[in-house]
Amino acid sequence: MTKTKTKKSSLLYLGIIFTWILLVSLFAGELLQVFYDARSFAGTKNQFVGALINSSAVLVVILMAYFWLNGLKDIFYTGVFWLVGDKSKFASINSENRNLGYQPKVDLIYTVCDDFDANSLEVSLLQDYPKWLLNCYILDDSKKPESKEEIDLFAQQNSLQVIRRNSSSGYKAGNINNWLNSDLEFGEFFVILDSDEIIPPNFVSDAVGFFADGEVGIVQANHVATRSHTRFADLFGNGVASHWVTYQGMKERFGFLSLLGHGAMLRTADVKAIGGFPEVVAEDLALSIKLAEIGKRVVFAKDIICEETYPVDYFSFKKRHAKWTMGNMEFIKKFSGLFLSKKLTWFEKVDILLFVYNLPLTVLFITFLLIHLVVFPSVGFVPNYSTTLLLPTVLTLLAPLLNDLIYFVGKKDLFGYIRYFLASVPLYGSLYFISFWSAIKALFGKAVFLVTPKTGQIHSIFSSIIKNRSEIIFGLVLFGISYIINQPWSVILIVVPSILSVSLGLLGKKVDHNRHFAITKAYQILAVLVLLIGIGLGANVQNFGNTLSAGEVAGVSEVGDNNQELDNLVRQINPQNSAKVKECVDRAVTKADLEKCRELVEND
């Protein structure tokens, strides 16, 4: 076998870290001021409250700096990818080096659990590779008898072997390991197919060539979303193509490229050498890192384009997101020690840290909010953030949308472009609760491999409200707390998307192309109107609250300064004083009120 030089580069992350240090340095004064203000305020409180304020302020500054670093990662990933004209520069193996020299035996393994898609598997079997060198196995974890019957019939008609096991332990990884541990005669390589996967006819013949480099352990193919049969999938499915080509291409060159679960070819001997798949929810990431420890890497086959289906509705989308979050949290708990591996470069470790920890660290973002909505207000501390300090924080939090903003230029008409991004606000903005809750469950309990439903349901507004009740309650509670402390605008970009999750739940119906455009347009216009109204109301309530609070504080201060004077005036009142005088004294608040009452007492 020939051995090509791995073209990994640390330049991207050097740029990210340098820019981050520069950004933190530029705002060091404002960041330190937050801590100094908290420290000064804490000095006026008891020891416990003082420690609470100081520690919260330190955590806020650290979290803000982390948000900047994570956002810069998306800005650099997107910026560098689109600024480089020749995208082939990101590939680690040139096309002329993709020649294995012979045709090996290859196994196709189709993993299924009550979501069998006969058409997808039938199309995937149409490879332009010699049939006598291909074997296909259906690894069936289905529980429903009707699913098993459908699979058995298909297998019989196509001369395929079905492999089942007595338990479903280890989830998808356990299913594949059960096959690997059998006494079958394995091919030199195997391809992982999810139930909705369609690989192109050239998949096997093109993918084997990458293994001419002996360091390659996995060839991960590119993906696009097809077969959208619902308004939800039709609206958001294009985001798959934009993400895969940019982020996986950049990871191969500048970060840590991982197996992404499906549509990939693996070297059988390598997987067996590490004891099979780690039996966790994020088995693809864990396997990739363990392979890196034995000197094997993942390459991205940009030109081998597979098809997958996008979640059929918002509820399927949330379920998949919950699985990813729990899987990443489980990985953090069980495999963080792999960061010590000498086989991983420092920038690959940083890349894993920023991408893998991103979803579970929603817990920290919620902590960031609670500090500002509960901790600081409960002790009377109001941090004074400058606009210049908040600007990079907001921009870096929105940075993940940058790639789509660039990718869809020219691919969508103006209205479609605007509609997609308006719809993306409630889609991703409403995921804070499910991310938070899934991370907490996996942190203190056990991660669960949730199978993304392949069929959706028709939901009424009422049923959508019921199924999104957690997001709605979460949003309303946040708004209630922020309203009490006169800062409703501070969470408006979380509250409004949480409420609008109800409208997303209605997009699961079958696509009616005659009505789809008008209905989607109406939903998105409603979404932006609600968003603008919410922001406007939040700003007005904030201004009113500040004015009212200022008046109340001033009034209380004046009364406090004149308590003695008021007491003296009350003593002057005798039973002969009129009711008008008594009422005036009872209502006296300011110094001017006291003077009027004094005149009444003297003249009565």
How far, in Å, are 260, 383, 453, 470 from residue 467 at the CA level?
29, 37, 15, 8
pLDDT score for 544: 43
Rama region for 226: left / alpha / beta (φ>0; ψ in -120 to 50; rest): beta
- Collect all residues with Cβ–Cβ distance below 8 Å to 240 and sequence separation of at least 6: 223, 224, 225, 308, 310
The Cα–Cα gap between 252 and 257 comes to 5
End-to-end CA distance of the chain: 112
pLDDT digits (tens, 9 = 90+) for 474-483: 888 888 887 8
CB atoms within 10 A of CB 158: 13
The Cα–Cα gap between 177 and 279 comes to 9
By DSSP bridging, strand 264-267 and strand 189-193 are antiparallel
- Collect all residues with Cβ–Cβ distance below 8 Å to 377 and sequence separation of at least 6: 484, 485
pLDDT score for 193: 97
- Domains belonging to the chain, first-starting first, are 11-85+360-549 (no CATH), 90-356 (3.90.550.10), 562-603 (no CATH)
| Collapsed DSSP state (helix, strand, coil) of residue 299 | strand
Q: Write out residues in the chain with pLDDT < 70, as ranges.
A: 1-6, 85-97, 487-488, 490, 509-596, 598, 600-604
Query: How is residue 1 written in tokens?
Result: 């076998």
pLDDT score for 73: 95
Sheet of strand 134-140: strand arrangement: 161-163, 134-140, 106-112, 189-193, 264-267, 216-225, 297-308
pLDDT score for 85: 64
pLDDT score for 75: 95
- Collect all residues with Cβ–Cβ distance below 8 Å to 125 and sequence separation of at least 6: 108, 136, 158
Tell me if 403 sits within 8 A of 74, measured CB to CB: yes
pLDDT score for 581: 62
- Indicate the pTM of the whole model: 0.80
Per DSSP, the residues of 13-50 read: HHHHHHHHHHHHHHTHHHHHHHHHHHHHHHTTS-HHHH
How far, rounded to the nearest angstrom, does the alpha carbon of residue 356 sit from its chain's CA centroid?
10
Phi and psi of 281, rounded to 5°?
Answer: -65, -45
pLDDT score for 84: 81
Tell me if 421 sits within 8 A of 401, measured CB to CB: yes
Query: How is residue 522 written in tokens?
Result: 């109406």
